[in-house]
Amino acid sequence: MSNTRIERDSMGELQVPELALYGAQTQRAVDNFPSVANACRQPSSVR
């Protein structure tokens, strides 16, 4: 079983983590700019 889902936008399809609260555009930013990945993680107090 995969822990990702497929998101679609004008640029095509992209795999996004299943529990992520964002879509394809944010995933592209995470892939292209690793420093963005830290901003997309929830603080441990929210989990």
Question: 28 burial class (0-12, 13-18, 19+ CB within 10 angstroms)?
Answer: middle
> How much is the pTM?
0.67
Instruction: List the beta bridge partners of residue 17.
Output: 4
pLDDT band at 34 (very low <50, low <70, confident <90, very high): confident
Does the pLDDT of residue 13 top 60, yes or no?
Answer: yes
**Percent of the chain topping pLDDT 70:** 72
Pick 20 or 38 by higher pLDDT.
20
Does the pLDDT of residue 1 top 60, yes or no?
Answer: no
How much is the pLDDT for 24? 96
